Amino acid sequence: MKQVKQLIAEQLQEKLGTDVETKDIEVPEPEHGDFAYPAMKAASQLEKNPRKLAEKTAEKLQEDELIQEVEVAGPGYLNFYLNKKEYGKIVSEGLETDKMSVEQREGEVLLEFSSPNIAKPMHIGHVRNNCLGDSLQRIMRFSGYNVTSENYLGDWGAQFGKSIFAFKKYGSEEKLDENPMEHIYNLYVKFHNEAENDPQIVEKAAEWSKRIEEGDEEAERLWKKLRKITIEYDMKDYERMDIEFDRITGESKVVEEGEEIVERGLEKGIFKEDDDGSVYIDFEDENMPNTIVKKSDGTTLYLTRDIANIEKRAKEGFEKNLYVVASEQDLHFKQLFKIAEEFGIDDIDNEHISYGMLNLGEGGMSSREGNIITLSDLLDKATEKAEEKIQDRENIENAEKIGLGAVKYANLKVSRRKDIEFNWEDVLNFEGDSGPYLQYSNTRAKSILKKTDTKGEFVGEFNETEYQLLRKLGEFPEKVSSAAENRDPVKVANYLSTLCEEFNTFYHDCPVIDAEEDERKRRVKLVKLFIDVSDKGLELLGIEPLEEM
């Protein structure tokens, strides 16, 4: 099903004789028509005067069933006025298809997100990642990509020797069975406190790190246990957030491949060996700091395993390799992708989907003594706050869905590269630009339909308010595409917010149930389309649409 913008772009392309893409078509303020095309770019390509080109093109464009009038304005704009009925038909038929007119793309995509380290609970730093990654997997799938989502655990490295040592020294199997994650994490904190006075224990812990590396039986058993405990614990957070992964992997799965990469890199002259036996890559020509891929003790690094993993993913047949990771690691990924290039791994496109900080601000939450703010603390708090806000006590069981929806929306409504100043007032403001506001608008529409069995149909003429709602609804497909292409759910989040505003204007100005027949049919149809679009939009953000609120 073609979108209206596409139909206009095609007409223009034919008449202009130069490329016109859907994204070149703008949605102007209502007084300048339904769509607009600035001919300036095409004019400079064709070396013509933009105003004259626009005039010539307007003459050639025949008015058809859809395009009612074309007007030339300003330095070279073409403003399109559409036949509203025809437009309504195209929008509604498009939205009623399976993929709601969202342009379908192809490609095998590996989307990595979350990727927490083991032996500690997920914390506040994972909130934005989880929200972004999950929404992206939903958006990219809906856009036709074949997405495999992967949680690549940080499950290899010297720090786990510390956890094991701490467990052996201070822990108990009993407590481990009772409250595994808490026990492990407390021991780790204790270890760090003790180490300040007793540097010897650091050395002892290092022995355990070595034993893990060497595959010592006891070390491996305990490391496996740490990994298992973490996965079981994290799974509860994911379930609560309604996040699913197609696979869970981890650094430990590419340790040998990492060692092999070092050898190959040396042979190829990509890496250099230092006097102490460590291996590094010289990035002087790239204006980046040099970086080590193998330590003098023979062990590999986080970066080394990432190199090996790119090769592995390419061999698996993935065409795109996407990482949702905070901007703190921008340099890491720049170095990583450069190394992959030097290895000649060019059949996979690597992308770092970088994002800014989530700042809880003052009074946002205080961390428990010696502890981090865990992800589940934040989710608890969100639920609690939502409970306080819900007026209709009958719907109190929705609190978690509202609280979590609020947190997710707050994380998605800001462009991913920007930092977020999180404050509970705004996040849970039922009237503002918030998750609950979206959920509320959606349930409001559903409650209208519960009161009528009129079948929706576009009959008669749209009034201005109805028409503006229709126009907004028609923008849904392109917003999803742009979110997918920019790897940023913000496009869908902001769109939904303005759509809900438009709907609420309609709700106040256009009675549905009490309208005369044609009007009622038309408005029921609009309400129905709004429900479809907002249900799907919320789903794409990972926010659960509700029946009542």
- Nearest Cα neighbor of 245 from 116, 353, 394 is 116
154 touching ligand ARG, by CB under 6 A: yes
CA atoms within 13 A on the CB side of 441: 29
CA distance 214 to 211: 5
CA distance 511 to 503: 12
Pick the closer one to ligand ARG by CB: 309 or 481. 309
| Binding residues among 189-208 for ligand ARG as defined by CB under 6 A | none
CA atoms within 13 A on the CB side of 226: 31
Pick the closer one to ligand ARG by CB: 319 or 539. 319
437 touching ligand ARG, by CB under 6 A: no
CA distance 328 to 472: 37
> How, if at all, do strands 279-281 and 272-273 pair?
antiparallel
Helix/strand/coil for 110: strand
308 touching ligand ARG, by CB under 6 A: no
DSSP E strand boundaries for 187-335: 247-250, 272-273, 279-281, 291-294, 320-326
CA distance 501 to 359: 27
Pick the closer one to ligand ARG by CB: 12 or 118. 118
Pick the closer one to ligand ARG by CB: 115 or 374. 115
**Rounded to an integer, what is the distance from CA 203 to the centroid of its chain?**
42
Pick the closer one to ligand ARG by CB: 245 or 476. 245
Kindly indicate which of the ranges 114-122, 163-171, 351-359, 399-407 contains the residues binding ligand ARG, using the contact rule CB under 6 A.
114-122
506 touching ligand ARG, by CB under 6 A: no
Q: Which of 152, 191, 462, 503 binds ligand ARG (CB under 6 A)?
A: 152
CA distance 243 to 127: 12
Contacts of 485 (CB under 8 A, 6+ apart): none
Residue 540 in contact with residue 489, Cβ under 8 Å? yes
Tokens, residue 450: 């519960």
Q: Which of 50, 116, 456, 537 binds ligand ARG (CB under 6 A)?
A: 116
- For the bound state, the minimum distance from the C-beta of residue 333 to ligand ARG, rounded and expressed in Å, comes to 8
111 touching ligand ARG, by CB under 6 A: no
Residue 13 in contact with residue 6, Cβ under 8 Å? no
Pick the closer one to ligand ARG by CB: 13 or 117. 117
35 touching ligand ARG, by CB under 6 A: no
- For the bound state, the minimum distance from the C-beta of residue 306 to ligand ARG, rounded and expressed in Å, comes to 5
CA distance 304 to 47: 51
Tokens, residue 469: 């709602």
Q: Which of 134, 306, 311, 502 binds ligand ARG (CB under 6 A)?
A: 306
Q: Which of 142, 156, 271, 323 binds ligand ARG (CB under 6 A)?
A: 323
Q: Which of 166, 181, 222, 325 binds ligand ARG (CB under 6 A)?
A: 325
113 touching ligand ARG, by CB under 6 A: no
159 touching ligand ARG, by CB under 6 A: no
Residue 53 in contact with residue 42, Cβ under 8 Å? yes
- For the bound state, the minimum distance from the C-beta of residue 325 to ligand ARG, rounded and expressed in Å, comes to 5
Pick the closer one to ligand ARG by CB: 237 or 466. 237
Contacts of 540 (CB under 8 A, 6+ apart): 135, 138, 139, 142, 480, 483, 489, 492
CA atoms within 13 A on the CB side of 380: 8
Pick the closer one to ligand ARG by CB: 154 or 435. 154
117 touching ligand ARG, by CB under 6 A: yes
- Nearest Cα neighbor of 381 from 416, 325, 423 is 423
Please give the DSSP secondary-structure letter assigned to residue 347. S
245 touching ligand ARG, by CB under 6 A: no
136 touching ligand ARG, by CB under 6 A: no
Pick the closer one to ligand ARG by CB: 129 or 481. 129
Residue 312 in contact with residue 350, Cβ under 8 Å? no
Kindly indicate which of the ranges 110-118, 182-190, 352-360, 431-439 contains the residues binding ligand ARG, using the contact rule CB under 6 A.
110-118
Q: Which of 3, 11, 57, 115 binds ligand ARG (CB under 6 A)?
A: 115
- For the bound state, the minimum distance from the C-beta of residue 269 to ligand ARG, rounded and expressed in Å, comes to 25
- For the bound state, the minimum distance from the C-beta of residue 207 to ligand ARG, rounded and expressed in Å, comes to 24
Interface residues with ligand ARG (CB under 6 A) are: 112, 115-117, 152, 154, 306, 323, 325
